[in-house]
Structure 1
Amino acid sequence: MPLVSIITPCYNSSRFLEETIASVMNQTFTDWEWLITDDCSSDNSVDIIKKINDSRIKLTIADENGGAGHARNISLKKASGRYITFLDADDFWEPEFLNEMIRFMEKEQAEIAYSNYARCNAELIPQLEDFKADKEVTFQNLLKTCRLSLLSSMYDAQRVGIEYFPEGSKREDHVMWLNLLKKINSGKPLPKTMAKYRMHSNSISRKKQNIIKDQYLVYREHMQFSTIQSLYYTANWAINGFLKYSKIFN
């Protein structure tokens, strides 16, 4: 069994997919499996993946388009590694990402860990200051802002179990991390920039104003908080989101 399972959803990702593949193939740590679920792409993403001759890469093609959370869940059900980590089909890891994260988790006895990541444009040129892994994450502080990014985080499934994504929510990653952090005291920060995140102008995560309701539902439906609590945490999330992406504060 591989030590690490890499989980990737893919949907019409051909523009950046080869760079993402290269970033995985160039990892100095090699004991991994890469579980890619294609979410019914209409471009040539599947053809690009099928060209790779590596038994560690396991491609599944979804029966129907169900969104990124659904695609990740398909892969998670097949994961056999102790450590679970995520990489979207347009993001990028530095060659030492897996090696550094595993060494850090073993040294710190961490159940969840996360690193810095660079915030880049489509050409992977940094646009803002690197997002800093500067504090431990807990259930309480993650309610106010999602400091855990999928591409720069890892968790120990042997210790905390596999956690699936709620399907149908545009904030499925936040809900997943909150559910994981209910089980442990905290996640540990690795203050090194180990990944590059593409900030697309039309990405869901950048259009905060369009997903206030979805974020409210994170608290009201998924965490089952009261209306007042849910409004309080949604307001905190909105303010922190502005500070996170505003060039004034970066």
Structure 2
Amino acid sequence: MLYQPKVSIIIPVYNGSNFMAEAIDAALAQTYPNCEVLVINDGSKDDGASEKIALSYGDKIRYYCKENGGVSSVLNFAFEKMTGEWFSWLSHDDLYYPEKINKQVQFLNELLAENPGINLKKITVRCATESIDKDRRVIKTPRYKAVPKHEQPIDTILNNVSNYRLSGCSFLLPSSCVKDIGGFDESIRTVSDVQYWYRLLFAGYEFYCLSQDVLVQNRSHGKQVGKTKVQLFDKELTELFIWIADTMNQNHEFSTVQNNEKLYYGFVKRRCTEAAKHVKTKYLKNKVSGFAYHVKYAALSAGYATIGSLRNIARYVFRRIYVK
């Protein structure tokens, strides 16, 4: 007998009249039969445009409006309203391919067939994504092929520091995780989703990835939080990286010299000098060979600084051309 749990698709909306109808249509077009769609208006200030669009769908969706509090507050609000055993988050400016939920639930069935006793409450499934512009033209397909179907939590933790592949809208998550680790941290405005994935990893959740299946389109445009609140984003990302380092080292199994070296070089690669310095001084002091260590650090720093400068130029040109 097939496992066909109810899946709640949560769409947070803030001033979303430009794209939200496409997101709602994508959620309603899912080929998986057992879905509910929750649209949460986070106090939009667009003269009722977002609400008018949402209400036009009638009982096809469940619509709520709340005071503005940021996307984390929307997701936490939705957790109290959803009735699905699993949930998936869809930003109002992003899109799902029609088979997104179906393929992820199908994968859960494959896991159950291989191991009937598997604990699905400690499993997450994500997929590959691609980037589109405001007109839905594909502008970038991240390299997911190197991401294994399954890896140990510590490997996911370390690998995604330097090569981030944890797109929030790509996940299918067990609703029970909210009771297990709590909701999103509403004090974090720009990277609360990233922190949540790491909280799941540190809590021992198994992350599976359908790396060959591009099932989500992330839209890139000039009004995204990461582009409008750059300084806050950089500050919160640095704080998050330091939190990751400290949390990792509270686990005796994870707190090894080798893991801290990987974490350190990951921060260097991301050019997050404060986090790299934190790991070096707190967790690697007197634990690595001086000369070889510093030579490697100097070489990596110089190399990644050069690459970073080139990337910044490329991103500037990219945004001028595509992101308007």
Q: Does the 8 A contact of 1:29 with 1:99 survive in 2?
A: yes
Alignment of 1:68-79 (within 5 A): 68-79=71-82
Structure 1 gaps of 5+ residues are: none
Number of equivalences: 241
Which residue does 2:28 correspond to in 1?
Answer: 25
In structure 2, distance between residues paired with 1:173 and 1:36: 18
Letter paired with 1:83: W
The 3-state SS of whatever aligns with 2:83 is coil
Tell me if structure 2 keeps the 8 A contact 1:215–1:234: no
* Post-superposition offset of 1:221: 4.8
Aligned partners of 1:132 and 1:53: how far apart in 2?
A: 38
1:98-113 counterparts in 2 under 5 A? 98-108=101-111, 111-113=123-125
In structure 2, which of residues 186, 189, 207 is the aligned counterpart of residue 187 of structure 1?
207
Aligned-pair CA distance for 1:183: 2.3
Moved more, 153-162 or 113-122: 153-162
**Is the counterpart of residue 48 in structure 1 residue 53 in structure 2?**
yes
Cα distance in 2 for residues equivalent to 1:148 and 1:222? 15
Provide the TM-score with structure 2 as the length reference: 0.65
Instruction: Assess if the C-alpha contact under 8 Å between 1:93 and 1:196 holds in 2.
Output: yes
Alpha-carbon distance in structure 2 between the residues aligned to 1:91 and 1:175: 20
Supply the AA of the counterpart residue of 2:65. I
More off after superposition, 145-154 vs 86-95 = 145-154
Which residue identity is paired with 1:40? G
Name the SS for the 2:183 alignment partner. Answer: coil
Take 2:226 and 2:94, find their aligned partners in 1: how far apart are those partners? 14
Deviation at 1:105, TM superposition (A): 2.4
1:1-250 to 2 correspondences below 5 Å: 3-43=6-46, 44-54=49-59, 57-62=61-66, 64-108=67-111, 111-132=123-144, 134-135=147-148, 136=150, 138-158=156-176, 161=180, 163-169=182-188, 170-184=190-204, 186-190=206-210, 191-205=212-226, 210=231, 211-221=233-243, 224=246, 234-238=267-271
Q: Any idea what the Cα deviations from partners look like across 1:189-241, whole Å, max 9, x if unmatched? A: 11211111101134234579632221111133577459xx79766444457xx
Q: Give the letter aligned to residue 200 of structure 1.
A: H
Q: CA deviation at 1:25?
A: 1.4
Q: In the alignment, what sits opposite 2:295?
A: none
RMSD: 3.1
Q: In terms of Rg, which structure is larger?
A: 2
**Comparing both structures, which one devotes a greater share of its residues to strand?**
1
**Cα deviation code 1:110-136 (max 9, x no counterpart):** 611111112110111011234526234
Deviations 1:59-109 (A, max 9, x none): 2211x2111111111101222211111101111111111111111123135
For 2:168, the aligned partner's letter is: L
Separation of aligned partners in 2, 1:52 and 1:24: 12
Contact kept, 8 Å, 1:216 with 1:231, in 2: the verdict is no
Distance 1:177 1:186 in 2: 11
Which fold has the larger relative contact order, with Cα–Cα distance below 8 Å and residues 6 or more apart in sequence?
1
Unaligned runs of 5+ in 2: 113-119, 250-259, 272-303, 316-324
Cα 1:187–1:222 shift into 2, 3 Å: closer
AA aligned opposite 1:174: V
**1:180 Cα deviation after fit:** 1.0
**Alpha-carbon deviation of 1:158?**
4.2
Amino acid at match of 1:193: V
Shift in alpha-carbon separation, 1:143–1:11, aligned structure 2, 3 A: same
TM-score (normalizing by structure 1): 0.82
Q: Distance in 2 between matches of 1:126 and 1:217?
A: 32
- The 3-state SS of whatever aligns with 1:41 is coil
Distance 1:131 1:51 in 2: 38
197-206 vs 167-176, which deviates more?
197-206
Deviations, residues 16-61 of structure 1 (Å, cap 9, x unaligned): 1111111111111121122222111122111111111225x22221
Paired with 2:51 and 2:163, the residues of 1 have a C-alpha distance of 34
The residue that corresponds to 2:319 in the other structure is none
Matched residue SS, 1:75: helix
